[in-house]
Amino acid sequence: MKANEQVHFIGIGGYGMSAIAKVVMEMGYKVTGSDVAESALSKKLSAQGATIVIGHDVSNMKGASIVVYSTAISQDDVELVAAKEAGITVLHRSEMLAKLLNATSGIAVAGAHGKTTTSSMIALVMELTKQDPTYIIGGEIVNLGTNAKAGQGAYLVAEADESDGTFLHYFPTIAVITNIEADHLENYDGDFENIKKAYVQFLKQVKPDGKAVVCLDDQNVRELLPRVYDDNALQDQQLITYSIHEQADYMASNIIEGDRTVSFELSTHGTSLGQFVLSVPGVHNVYNAIATIITCLEAGVELEALRKAIKLFVGAKRRFQVIADVHDMLVVDDYAHHPTEIVATINASKATGKRITVVFQPQRFTRTFFLLDEFSKAFPEADSVIITDIYSPAGEEAIEGVSSQRLVELIKENGQHNVQYIATNEEVLEQLKTSIQPGDMVITMGAGDIWKVSHALGEHIKA
């Protein structure tokens, strides 16, 4: 890229696109963008100097030498079609991120769960320990109030999204794999083996002087590791493993869960690195923290500075985000949209000692279809459960027999009888307003717009 180049982003207002746009702009390039509606993120970009237009039109990208689009943009979008016809360089969001990540010491965090929290934790620790990283995160880091920054340090921290296979554009210096699960099967011909093959290739793309940091407690990770060595693409000394249960290079023990906190001792090859305290709850965050600690140590962060910095991390937006804590009533919002995430979040919630009401909004008919049985078994530890209508993106077709009503039936069959179907966010909110009592915790879960319920309920109980 030349210093005077203009980069145009189609669909600039989302987390992934706005983060890249912010970094590109802070690097000194001119940024323009378009979207169908204004968002808080696009407002921030406009305030920083980006030229953003609501609505898609060919004139929006005048002067652009690079046009960036996301998976959410239709191939017949007028701006995208015009850019291709004009011979302008057209890049998918992941390809634009790859241009940035591959040209530096890239830290790419992959996995079915924990990507946003782990990459946010790494970015915050490196920021607080004066590493001045560049970071591009798929969620806002609560401590920093942003999801992206162009730093002057050696490292760039980013999520590596496996959902559509685009993480194979990245050649990182440090690759992290938190776990592997059968999600996004609609993009892998319905075959879990294709996802595993993609992860194997991702690990093989670690730079020759780089490191792969992987969780051995995940069975799918353990099973694919031998395949990474098939053609000597990754050497033994490049692999760093971590766990709580399996024998690994780094192991956590003495885990103590508290009310929205968790602490643990970390050791490596029999040598204790001491206790670490987190200001976020749950054993799942212990795993995220271990990956963060290893990555930051490999990046040259001093241990004691790391220990102090990681304690200050209070989460990423929509990751066990406390919306209201008033009169012994706690309202939390979480992005959990996969059965494993739901179970982990409910288990983390139990340490609060409150009665837990889970409001879950399934997302996508395809995901609900593939994981219907797993979803039906994810709620036994909740005190009560509300299931809303499936949140489906525009253009997705319904699947016969896949519905929230059917999910409620299966949840009951699996032993959770205090579950009900309430179709809309508005109806859910009205019920919660009248039912929430001191000693209750309400947690909204899902990748759609269910967060609106927790925010409105939070404002209600504050008032």
Distance of CA 42 to the CA centre of its chain: 20
Q: How far is the first Cα of the chain from the last one, in angstroms, to the nearest whole number?
A: 51
Given a contact cutoff of 8 angstroms between Cβ atoms, the answer to whether 7 and 24 are in contact is yes
Query: For residues 386 and 407, what is the distance between their CA atoms, to the nearest angstrom?
Result: 11
Give the Cβ contact number of residue 40 at 10 Å: 9
Both tokens assigned to 270? 């029999």
SS (H, E, C) 408-432: HHHHHHCCCCCEEECCCHHHHHHHH
The one-letter amino acid code at 190 reads G
- According to DSSP, the residues that pair with 321 across neighbouring strands are 333
Distance of CA 412 to the CA centre of its chain: 30
SS (H, E, C) 2-62: CCCCEEEEECCCCHHHHHHHHHHHHCCCEEEEEECCCCHHHHHHHHHCCEEEECCCHHHHC
Give the Cβ contact number of residue 271 at 10 Å: 7
In this structure, the strands spanning 51-54 and 105-110 are unpaired
The residues annotated as belonging to the active site are: 115-116, 159
Side by side, the strands of the sheet bearing 51-54 are: 51-54, 30-35, 6-10, 66-69, 89-92
Counts for the chain of helices (H) and strands (E), in that order: 15, 21
71 CB-near residues (< 8 Å, 6+ apart): 92, 93, 164, 166
Query: For residues 138 and 401, what is the distance between their CA atoms, to the nearest angstrom?
Result: 33
CA 240, 209, 118, 201 torsion: positive or negative? negative
Give the Cβ contact number of residue 220 at 10 Å: 17
- If you ran DSSP here, which 8-state letter would residue 168 be given? G
